[in-house]
Structure 1
Amino acid sequence: MLQTFTINGRHLQVTTGQGQSSTILLLSSPTPEEIAELCTQFNLDPTIFDRCNSAEEVSRFQLLESKQLTNPHLLVVFDFNFGYQHIEEQLTPAILIFDQDHLIICTQNSAVSFEELQQAVAEHDPVHQLVFHLVDAWQQQLNAALQNFEDEIDRLDQASRDTTIKNTELRALTELMRQLVYFEHTVNDQTTTLKALVDSPMARNISDSLKLKIETSQRRLSKAIHIYRDAVESLSSLYTAMMDNHLNHLMKFLDSTGLVIGIAALLSGLMGMNVGGMPWESSKYGFWIIIGLAGLLSLIASLYLHRRSYND
């Protein structure tokens, strides 16, 4: 049986699962008015949804107080929305409030559809099984996002083998580091939450394979994000060292060039003094003799510096 009711003009749907009546409410990108109506109808604390749109939301699993629900639990985990560009929008908190007969899902990820939930309800009855199914699906999204990070790290690593580092690579490296910082804190924060969920009494009726899959997936996420973070920090150090090395070579070249030019300038300065007794003062070849001597001394200095690798 499928019913509908309205919160502030927006239709949310109620479905009946197999074997028992289960109410499922999906709020995708809810407005403040819809959240207020939801809290009023189910006697919920409005502060639960204070950070429902923010990647800085805290992952947690705890009991709630509600006169409309029976021993409800609050679960906050994270999904990854590939439809956005910035990591603050891509890391989407998913707020689940549930008991044996109700499941309320609040998420900014518009990709979550009620049709998918209907299919999941048919396969995962009762509500607690559906919760674990959703957590597993969202973890797969996070794993897919990590694969994109790995591809970007490989690209930047290949770019580091070039002799010149472009500003585009430096900006990409900075952006990747920022994304990994958000991702690392999110994964670390979620680890404790999922551990509490898997060890909770409601998990007794969940298959061991599903619980093991969630735990293993979370451990893989945690390990991968730390590996990628270390890899990016190594790349950042490499980029800095390469830029310093290029700058050192440039300064050596400029110093060597200045020394070679300085020898010719010193000679021409000495020969240009307005005093008597200067060599070749009365010779019509004096200018060319001085030019030739300055060039010869500069050439000798250049060969010497080149042999000593001062101008590489």
Structure 2
Amino acid sequence: MMITYYNFQNNQLNNSLEDLAKWIAVNNPTSHEVEKLGKYYDIPLDMFVTQYFPENMTEIEHFNSETLGNCAFLVLINYKTSKPHSIEKGLYPITFIYNKEKMISITDKRDVSITPSIKKDLSEAVQPSQLIVGCILNMYQIYTVEINRLKRAIDEISERARSTTKREVLTDLADVERDMVFLEQTLVDQKATIEKLLASELFQSMATEERHVREIKRKIKKTDKLISLNRDLIDTTGGLISDMLDSKLNGIMEYLDSAQLVIAIPTLIFSLWGINTGGLIGKDTPLGSLSVVIFAILLGWTTYLYLKKKEY
């Protein structure tokens, strides 16, 4: 585990001693270290979330600590974009435990920096709420980039679907749709938690600029719209692929039906001339069989040309 202590002086984020720290950043703690941290700050152990699972939820809860006093516990889901991977593998939790005077953040090893974008506006009177707001703004900026990446992937699949119906197009679309499900469900859950955060009495009692709160709401609204747009694009692309497969199958069936009709006419002629009855033309001449074959071929070819002209 790595613990870094920060305070704010001269409008900057600076390293600090433990007793003077306003922000305690905990990175990649083990279960034993989590237990020590919980006992030291009197924090219930079930509030530490360091690993992401699909069933994990964002949440906010208030509690009292003998060491920290009246506190709030907040879990949000961030996203890591440093290397190509599925959405599921890029999601990870960030836990904030805070009050008006101090904030503890717990992240896993994949979070190389949660220093908020708001640090440009830091002052010595900064409160944990400003740090959380900055982290949320940075988080939604990352989500917006990832949603736009998915849109480009959907557009590329849509272009390929117009010219081919190979299996790879279907599997790629299924992968994108799976990513969209994880991203959509995470953001829906997180939106509800952030709304509770912004409405909580503790958060509202802290010094947070209204413009930053409005920016959070704007970014949430933007991601909601992008998610809805991408969901519709996935459905449209899936419908396009399905229609093209149906069209291709119909074309094959039409071809087989036409071929069956062309072959059926010579077959009928051969069958008629093969009936064991008298009076058939050419039955007494060695050229009779050849004449029947030529006649059947000409009639089949005529049928083919007729069907082709009718675009069957």
TM-score (norm 2): 0.86
Question: Residue 285 of structure 1 aligns to which amino acid in structure 2?
Answer: L
1:119-177 deviations in whole A, cap 9, x for unaligned? 94993622221111111111111111111011112112222321x22211111111111
Q: Once the 2 structures are TM-superposed, how far is the Cα of residue 277 of structure 1 from its aligned partner?
A: 4.0
Q: 1:286 to 1:108 in 2, by over 3 A?
A: farther
| Aligned position for 2:133 | 132
| Runs (5+) with no aligned partner, structure 1 | 1-9
| Aligned position for 1:93 | 93
Superposed counterparts of 1:23-42, under 5 Å: 23-42=22-41
| Aligned position for 2:46 | 47
Q: What SS is found at the alignment partner of 2:233?
A: helix
Whole-angstrom CA distance in 2 between matches of 1:206 and 1:79: 21
Q: Once the 2 structures are TM-superposed, how far is the Cα of residue 109 of structure 1 from its aligned partner?
A: 5.7
Whole-angstrom CA distance in 1 between matches of 2:237 and 2:161: 8
Whole-angstrom CA distance in 1 between matches of 2:84 and 2:70: 36
Q: Once the 2 structures are TM-superposed, how far is the Cα of residue 50 of structure 1 from its aligned partner?
A: 5.4
Q: Once the 2 structures are TM-superposed, how far is the Cα of residue 267 of structure 1 from its aligned partner?
A: 1.7
Structure 1 residue 295 and structure 2 residue 292: aligned?
no
Q: What SS is found at the alignment partner of 1:95?
A: strand
Would you say the 8 A contact 2:118–2:130 is kept in 1?
Answer: no
1:65-86 deviations in whole A, cap 9, x for unaligned? 3222221111222211123512
Structure 1 residue 167 and structure 2 residue 167: aligned?
yes
* Identical residues among aligned pairs (%): 24
| Aligned position for 1:3 | none
Whole-angstrom CA distance in 2 between matches of 1:95 and 1:153: 33
Q: 1:216 to 1:267 in 2, by over 3 A?
A: same
Bigger Cα displacement from structure 2, 246-255 vs 33-42: 33-42
Q: Once the 2 structures are TM-superposed, how far is the Cα of residue 256 of structure 1 from its aligned partner?
A: 1.0
Bigger Cα displacement from structure 2, 40-49 vs 131-140: 40-49
Would you say the 8 A contact 1:17–1:126 is kept in 2?
Answer: no
1:211-263 deviations in whole A, cap 9, x for unaligned? 11111001111111011111111111121111111111111111111121122
Q: What SS is found at the alignment partner of 1:309?
A: coil
Superposition RMSD in Å: 2.6
| Runs (5+) with no aligned partner, structure 2 | 11-18
Whole-angstrom CA distance in 1 between matches of 2:113 and 2:50: 22
Q: 1:102 to 1:213 in 2, by over 3 A?
A: same
Would you say the 8 A contact 1:12–1:26 is kept in 2?
Answer: yes
Structure 1 residue 185 and structure 2 residue 176: aligned?
no
Whole-angstrom CA distance in 1 between matches of 2:108 and 2:245: 41
Would you say the 8 A contact 2:73–2:95 is kept in 1?
Answer: yes
| Aligned position for 2:79 | 80
Question: Residue 34 of structure 1 aligns to which amino acid in structure 2?
Answer: E
Q: 1:78 to 1:109 in 2, by over 3 A?
A: farther
| Aligned position for 1:62 | 61
Whole-angstrom CA distance in 1 between matches of 2:27 and 2:120: 18
Q: What SS is found at the alignment partner of 1:269?
A: helix
Q: What SS is found at the alignment partner of 2:112?
A: coil
Pick from 276, 285, 288 the counterpart of residue 287 of structure 2. 285
Aligned length: 299
Whole-angstrom CA distance in 1 between matches of 2:117 and 2:30: 23
Q: 1:205 to 1:245 in 2, by over 3 A?
A: same
Q: Once the 2 structures are TM-superposed, how far is the Cα of residue 102 of structure 1 from its aligned partner?
A: 2.8
Whole-angstrom CA distance in 2 between matches of 1:143 and 1:40: 38
